[in-house]
Chain A
Amino acid sequence: MAEMTPLEAAPNDLSGARILVVDDNGMSRRKLRLSVENLGHVAEMVADGHEALDALRDGSFDAVLLDILMPGLDGFGVLAEMKADDALRDVPVIVISALDDETESVVKAIELGAEDFLPKTYDPVLLKARLGASLGKKRFRDQEREYFRRIERLTEAAEILETGRFDPESLQLEDVASKRDPIGRLATVFRGMAAEIYERELRMTRAIMTLQGSFLVLAVGLVWGLTPALSRMASGLGSNPLGLAIWVNGIAAVFCLGIAAYRGKLPRLSWREIAFFFYWAVIAGILQRMTTFVATEHVEAAMLSLIVTLQGFMVFAFAALTKMEQATPRRLLGLFVGLVGVSLVLFTRFDMADRAQNLWLLFAMALPFLFAVEAIVLAGKRPEHVDIFASVGLMMGISTLLLIPWAYATGDLMPLQFRVGRLEILVVLMGIVGAASLLLAFHLIATAGAVFYSQSAYAMTIAGVVWGMLLLNEELSILAWVAFAIVIVGMYLVEPKAREDELLIHRSFDK
């Protein structure tokens, strides 16, 4: 939008208008400028028709005083060009002429769209009257045009609402609402109501998202927490951890890729994407597993579970540093509340007698670190076009292939019988559980963000305790349920990450 002329800014005051004086004759130009300035206006002078058009297009003028006879583009030419230009059509032109011999010229100029004419030797009162009349008409036209423009903006805003976009910013009514006239007040009310509805929907959507996310976190925790219990059952049936992992991951890979293939979503991958899945498999399949093996031998199980829950804080720190997600005190407080809940369960199980483990505690910190790296990498770098089943299946498959040489070297390769026994059923079950937990985790990271997801470590730890009680007849403590409740309070505080896309509201008042 062109800048406003003083006339547009203060329409009730006709003085201070910007007037363009066009005359090739230096003395006439100066005389007109002095007259115009004497009436309290601002005059700008140009010496020919082309300069006049350039000046008119550069800055906005309220009126033009135009000489007819000029070298180059004459007054008629200027008038014709102005009338052909939408932006200049409504700028009033007063033609300056020597009446005695130029009646024909005046007639022609008025036919071309000039507002009025003025003799070369004019009475200043006449100049004031004609200029005033022209400016008055222009002011009225400007106001009328501004009025319709604002009505149009309001109508557009209503149409935007129709598409379900209630976000006050997308309505773009600030301009219309800034004036305190009836249309401005209407726009203010209109925008206020839309904002109120938007805020309400936003709060509701966030509440639903937190609820869904919390449910998913608990589901991930419960499914993941099942793994240690199943592992212990499997080891009771004579399996070794590495051999078991190969079978479990392999079955999970076949399961996931099978579903992806069935849904016709096996992806084509670039080398960069293959590299991504390779790194993921190295972190989740090799590094995390090796660290777990070593740590479980030296660190007491309850303490290790507690250390693993530190991943929430690590993810939070990562996310804050990389600005991937909001890092608010409220979310940090939520993570602490969750930690309190988990500690409640674990401290009752500590065996503090073993002091030799102190250095190993430090080593065990690598485990939550690796989990945190995995969550952040998945949140920030996952190839979004690859189907969730294909993604998890690929990672599981690659990690299986990486584990086979390791197991071969340590003699841990574990042949299964084709005859279906308890161990075989258990292994298939573990494969499906492994796949399901990763799928849930992947979905959670994608929808709620890495920080919210990292709370699943709490749920997982507590669920591990609960499953142990249920499946292995370990002692059940009321404290475990209290801890669960506290972890859920933590989730409420952490909240899923904010949505990036605008919230659309489905209207119930459709035609």
Chain B
Amino acid sequence: MQDEVIDKQAIDRLLDMIGGDPEDLQELLDEFEQSAPDIVASMRTAADEGDLRALRINAHSLKSNATDMGAHRLSAMCASLEAACRDETVREPMAQIDAIDQELTRVRAALTALAGPNG
């Protein structure tokens, strides 16, 4: 399961959480699709400006969203960045953000592939 980019069970759990309507789920997937790149962009800006609090909050948001999507690896990467920000032990944040961005690209591709056959 850890090898997978997306944990389908997590998506089922999300659907269960919001009441089971696939249209509502699609709404959430769209929201993730739109907001995740923005969050990464905000992370870059925060890292540029050395704003640890903003970086932490954005990492926290992407972590939560990734968890909801079952993107456990992405979530873990964000969690580690968030913890580093909180403890003020962050090193080379840009490299971490690049890695997060690459993982996000994989997650989005996996989500699109997932949505494709189902409609």
- Interface of A toward B, CB cutoff 8 Å: 24-28, 30-31, 34-35, 37-38, 69-71, 98, 100-101, 120-124, 127
Contacts and interface: CB of A to CB of B under 8 A. Distances in A.
Nearest to A96: B64
Contacts of A124: 16-17, 19
A24 B17 contact: no
Given A31-B28, A70-B57, A120-B64, 17 more contacts: A25-B65, A26-B35, A27-B68, A31-B68, A34-B18, A34-B19, A34-B21, A34-B28, A37-B19, A69-B57, A71-B53, A98-B67, A101-B82, A121-B13, A121-B67, A123-B17, A127-B17
A259 to B, nearest CB: 87
With most chain B CB atoms within 10 A of its CB, the pick from A71, A100, A121, A122 is A121
A76 to B, nearest CB: 14
Contacts, number: 70
A31 B14 CA distance: 8
Interface string B85-99: 000000000000000
Most buried by A among B10, B21, B28: B28
A28 B64 contact: yes
Nearest to A72: B57
Contacts of B79: 100-101
B3 interface: no
The interface size bin for chain B is 20 to 34
A101 B65 contact: no
Given A31-B14, A34-B24, A121-B13, A26 B19 contact: no
B110 interface: no
Interface string B1-28: 0000000001001101111110010011
Contact of A71 (B57, B67, B82): B57
Given A26-B35, A30-B27, A38-B19, A71 B68 contact: no
Nearest to A124: B17
Contacts of B109: none
Contacts of B64: 25, 27-28, 98, 120
